[in-house]
């Protein structure tokens, strides 16, 4: 049985604002299924006494002091933007929701 | 057109359940995960760097002061502090965050399970605190085109990332029940108290008008006698204390009308409109909420040293509610008077006036009487009136010394508020000092007795109460500057009657 359905891929695509064709949905569903299946092998070897880990390094409390550092000049900050207006990043129309 | 049910009727039939989510921007010098400044109102995109713009390869490092402030907030709200917790990525596709996720906390908040006690109209309400967590603020979008400047109908948006990455603390209450009719007032009192706690901790400037304190209001209704909660709505971005109260009230009225009509409340986000005090529908919750949280691999877990937490706890300042109890005892005022002063934002002013030498009763009298009235008239907060506690203390001193009476003192305040200078300058410029020269006073009295022969005759005949008209005449003739008590004595003396 597949771990990921075509509907789930469609849902993820919607959340990411990606328009996928029916062929692409089938294609990615198959691919993602293989990936998830491979990752799932980990849980076969992880016994109950092995806690899930989220970080590779055994570190905690890595902080920086509250000190101001130089920001980028605005021209440089905006230099990679596809479109700029009034020193702001111009983005396409945001559909469907309001925040 | 939204139909509503009158508030009283709504409360006869339904019981409200509230939930409040408050966001507080911390007043750190630098952002949460990078060294950019956090100054409000800076030119667009001047406080940004590779980290807060999410340029490839940039890595976040947590601001220690922000962690400390969050723990102090949690302690002030009687929370437990996590022994170990992580930051999580909240994934969503929206241009207010350039990363396509916001660094937040999910099921492991830094502080959890606390409470805050409130006094509202003589009743105590214990508001449960579900969690206090730390996240980063988002950028600011401006929507261009369209009729209203809002997203709907906009042609495109422009984004300033100065605010993106400023440390933001989210404080979430447990469901608040049992407030009954006082729900709107309890909600307002809660946000007011939170704001004062933040101020006393010195962790934020908590300016609602600048957005450094923002509140989302969740409201649901259940029919009287039921214990099953109804469907809730979340009203976003309620940006003044008054609006918190109005938003709760407005949602209760709106939901009651729907339910009474046999309808269903839709679970959704709603937007509060300051001008009308009503809310309108935003996006519906189901489709928007799929944030696929997972632990942020770029940020290692936080495990606050218990000794550090104990030290922060020991060093907490006196909290506002404790301070109010202390001041109330010192000033000897009733619960009701203290609550009025608190609601009027007068406590600090009264305290400073007393510190400047005024007796407690006088300080309270002027701030809560004449000055509160004038603040009300001109629609400004008491603290924003152009009069200082030192001014008020000086006026009480002038009254106590007999140089002014209350009526003249009110004129002095009028002058001070009109920008005519200090109380002493206003007294000198307007010639407001009480007539203390008895010769001058006696001359006025003779004239008034002559002008009011009828009243004078009645007094002579034993109707001492009639002296009031004569005293009134003297006050009028002296334009309020006579000492009324002394004038009364002198009039009675002149008319050969003992007072």
Strand pairing category for A63-64 and B294-295: unpaired
Minimum CA–CA partner of B64 in chain A = A63
Q: Which bin fits B170, alpha (ψ -120 to 50), beta or left (φ > 0)? A: beta
Higher pLDDT, A38 or B113: B113
- CATH code, A18: 1.10.20.60
What torsion, rounded to 10 degrees, do the Cα atoms B92, B271, B180, B22 define? 50
Cβ–Cβ of A77/B155 closer than 8 Å? Answer: no
Residue B287 above 70 pLDDT? no
Cβ–Cβ of B48/A91 closer than 8 Å? Answer: no
Dmax of chain A from CA atoms? Answer: 56
Residue B11 above 70 pLDDT? yes
Residue B438 above 90 pLDDT? no
Residue B284 above 70 pLDDT? no
| pLDDT average, residue stretch A7-29 | 90
In angstroms, the first-to-last Cα distance of chain A is: 39
Among A50-59, B324-333, B423-432, the range of highest mean pLDDT = B324-333
Residue with tokens 């920086």: A64
Residue A56 lies in a domain: no
Q: Which pLDDT belongs to residue B285?
A: 46
Residues 6+ apart with CB under 8 A from B299: A62, B33, B60, B61, B62, B86, B87, B103
Question: How many domains, chain A?
Answer: 1
Q: What percent of chain A has pLDDT over 90?
A: 52
Instruction: Provide, as residue numbers in chain B, all residues whose Cβ is less than 8 Å from the Cβ of A64.
Output: 35, 61-64
Q: Which pLDDT belongs to residue B313?
A: 98
Considering only CA atoms, which of B429, B431, B405, B394 is closest in space to residue B486? B405
Cβ–Cβ of A98/B151 closer than 8 Å? Answer: yes
| pLDDT average, residue stretch B207-221 | 92
- Name the CA radius of gyration of chain A, rounded: 22
| Cα B322 to Cα B103: distance, rounded to the nearest angstrom | 35
Helices vs strands, H then E, count in chain A: 3, 3
Q: Which pLDDT belongs to residue B286?
A: 46
Helices vs strands, H then E, count in chain B: 18, 15
User: What are phi and psi for residue B267, nearest 5 degrees?
Assistant: -75, 115
Angle at B340 between CA B176 and CA B75, to 5 degrees: 45
- Among B26-35, B90-99, B108-117, B357-366, which stretch is predicted with the lowest mean pLDDT? B90-99
Angle at A78 between CA A72 and CA A80, to 5 degrees: 110
Q: Which domain holds residue A12?
A: 1-46
| Cα B143 to Cα B159: distance, rounded to the nearest angstrom | 9
Higher pLDDT, A41 or B129: B129
Cβ neighbours around B224 below 10 Å, total: 10
Q: Which pLDDT belongs to residue B45?
A: 97
According to DSSP, the residues that pair with B215 across neighbouring strands are B22, B238
Q: What percent of chain B has pLDDT over 90?
A: 67
| pLDDT average, residue stretch B106-135 | 96
> How far are the Cα atoms of B18, B78, B114, B126 from residue B130, in angstroms, in the given order?
13, 11, 7, 13
pLDDT in tens, B150-207: 666 678 899 999 999 999 999 999 999 999 999 999 999 999 999 999 999 999 999 8
Q: Which pLDDT belongs to residue B153?
A: 67
> How far are the Cα atoms of B30, B79, B248 from residue B63, in angstroms, in the given order?
8, 21, 35
| Cα B97 to Cα B90: distance, rounded to the nearest angstrom | 11
Residue A7 above 70 pLDDT? yes
Q: Which pLDDT belongs to residue B499?
A: 55
Residue B311 above 70 pLDDT? yes
Residue A35 lies in a domain: yes
Task: Choose among B35, B161, B297: nearest Cβ to A55.
Answer: B297
| Cα B53 to Cα B60: distance, rounded to the nearest angstrom | 11
CATH (one of 1.20.140.10, 2.60.40.10, 3.40.630.10, 1.10.10.410) for B438-494: 1.10.10.410
DSSP string, B275-322: TTTEEEEEEEHHHH-----EE-TTSPPB---HHHHHHHHHTPPPPHHH
Q: Which bin fits A20, alpha (ψ -120 to 50), beta or left (φ > 0)? A: beta
Cβ–Cβ of A67/B29 closer than 8 Å? Answer: yes
Average pLDDT, chain B: 91
pLDDT in tens, B223-251: 998 889 999 999 987 889 999 999 999 99
| Cα B499 to Cα B489: distance, rounded to the nearest angstrom | 7
Domains of chain B by residue range: 7-313, 320-430, 438-494
Considering only CA atoms, which of B369, B351, B447 is closest in space to residue B407? B369
Taken in order B444, B450, B454, B460, the sign of the CA dihedral is positive
Cβ–Cβ of A68/B30 closer than 8 Å? Answer: yes
| Cα B239 to Cα B213: distance, rounded to the nearest angstrom | 8
Interface of chain A against chain B, CB under 8 Å?
A: 11, 15-17, 54-57, 59-72, 74, 77-78, 80, 85-94, 96-99
Q: Which pLDDT belongs to residue A97?
A: 46
Residue with tokens 């293989």: A34
pLDDT in tens, A58-97: 899 999 999 999 999 999 999 999 999 999 999 987 765 4
pLDDT in tens, B451-497: 988 888 888 888 888 888 898 998 888 888 788 888 888 888 888 88
Q: Token pair of B199, please?
A: 């101020």
Q: What is the ipTM of this complex?
A: 0.88
SS3 B390: helix
Alpha carbon B148 to chain centroid distance? 29
Cβ–Cβ of A66/B29 closer than 8 Å? Answer: yes
Q: Which pLDDT belongs to residue B168?
A: 98
Residue A41 lies in a domain: yes
Shortest distance between the Cα of A73 and any Cα of chain B, in A, equals 6
| Cα B183 to Cα B162: distance, rounded to the nearest angstrom | 36
Shortest distance between the Cα of B318 and any Cα of chain A, in A, equals 25
Higher pLDDT, B443 or B107: B107
Residue B302 above 80 pLDDT? yes
| Cα A17 to Cα B265: distance, rounded to the nearest angstrom | 29
Reported confidence tier of residue A52, pLDDT bands at 50, 70, 90:
confident
> How far are the Cα atoms of B10, B70, B134, B136, B140 from residue B51, in angstroms, in the given order?
50, 22, 18, 12, 17
> How far are the Cα atoms of B8, B53, B93, B158, B300 from residue B100, in angstroms, in the given order?
45, 11, 5, 16, 20
Residue A23 lies in a domain: yes
Residue with tokens 């949602």: B251
pTM of the model: 0.82
| Cα B356 to Cα B350: distance, rounded to the nearest angstrom | 10
Q: Which pLDDT belongs to residue B303?
A: 97
């Amino acid at each position: 049985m597949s771990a990921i359905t075509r509907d789930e891929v469609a849902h993820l695509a919607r959340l990411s604002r990606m328009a996928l064709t029916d062929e692409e949905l089938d294609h990615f569903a198959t691919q993602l299924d293989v990936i998830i299946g491979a990752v799932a092998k980990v849980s076969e070897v992880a016994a109950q006494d092995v806690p899930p880990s989220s970080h590779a390094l055994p570190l905690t409390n890595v902080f920086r002091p509250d000190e101001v550092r130089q920001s980028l000049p605005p021209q440089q900050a905006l230099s990679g933007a596809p479109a700029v207006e009034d020193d702001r990043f111009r983005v396409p129309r945001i559909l469907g929701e309001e925040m | 057109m939204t139909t509503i049910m009158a508030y009283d009727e709504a409360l006869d039939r339904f019981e409200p359940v509230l939930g409040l989510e408050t966001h507080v921007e911390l007043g750190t010098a630098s952002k949460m995960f990078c060294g950019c400044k956090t100054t409000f109102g800076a030119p667009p995109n001047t406080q940004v760097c590779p980290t807060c713009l999410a340029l490839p390869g940039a890595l976040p490092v947590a601001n220690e002061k922000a962690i400390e402030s969050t723990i102090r907030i949690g302690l002030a709200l009687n929370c437990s502090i996590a022994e170990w917790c992580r930051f999580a990525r909240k994934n969503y596709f929206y241009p207010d965050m350039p990363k396509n996720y916001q660094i937040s906390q999910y099921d492991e908040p830094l502080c959890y399970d606390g409470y805050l006690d409130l006094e509202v109209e003589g009743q105590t309400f214990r508001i449960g605190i579900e969690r206090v967590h730390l996240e980063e603020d988002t950028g600011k979008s401006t929507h261009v085109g369209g009729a209203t400047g809002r997203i709907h109908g906009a042609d495109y948006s422009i984004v300033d990332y100065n605010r993106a990455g400023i440390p933001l603390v989210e404080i979430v209450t447990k469901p608040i029940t049992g407030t009954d009719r006082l729900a709107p007032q309890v909600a307002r009192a809660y946000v007011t108290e939170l704001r004062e706690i933040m101020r006393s901790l010195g962790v934020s400037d908590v300016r609602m008008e600048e957005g450094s304190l923002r509140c989302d209001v969740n409201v649901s209704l259940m029919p009287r006698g039921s214990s099953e909660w109804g469907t809730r709505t979340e009203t976003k971005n309620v940006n003044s204390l008054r609006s918190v109260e109005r938003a709760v009230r407005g949602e209760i009225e709106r939901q009651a009308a729907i339910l009474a009509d046999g309808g269903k409340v839709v679970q959704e986000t709603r937007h509060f409109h300051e001008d009308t005090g009503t809310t309108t529908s935003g996006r519906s919750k189901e489709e928007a909420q799929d944030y696929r949280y997972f632990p942020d691999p770029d940020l290692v877990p936080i495990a606050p040293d218990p000794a550090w937490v104990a030290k922060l706890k020991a060093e907490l300042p006196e909290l506002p509610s404790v301070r109010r109890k202390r001041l109330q005892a010192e000033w000897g005022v009733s619960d009701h008077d203290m609550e009025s002063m608190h609601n009027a934002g007068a406590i600090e002013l009264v305290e400073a006036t007393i510190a400047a030498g005024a007796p407690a009763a006088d300080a309270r009298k002027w701030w809560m009487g004449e000055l509160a009235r004038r603040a009300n008239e001109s629609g400004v907060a008491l603290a924003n009136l152009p009069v200082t506690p030192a001014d008020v203390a000086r006026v009480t001193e002038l009254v106590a010394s007999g140089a002014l009476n209350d009526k003249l003192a009110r004129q002095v305040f009028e002058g001070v508020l009109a920008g005519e200078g200090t109380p002493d300058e206003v007294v000198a410029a307007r010639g407001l000092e009480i007539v203390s020269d008895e010769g001058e006073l006696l001359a006025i009295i003779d004239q008034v007795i002559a002008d009011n022969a009828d009243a004078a005759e009645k007094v002579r005949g034993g109707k001492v109460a009639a002296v009031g008209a004569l005293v009134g005449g003297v006050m009028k003739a002296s334009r309020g500057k006579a000492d009324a008590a002394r004038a009364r004595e002198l009039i009675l003396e002149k008319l050969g009657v003992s007072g």
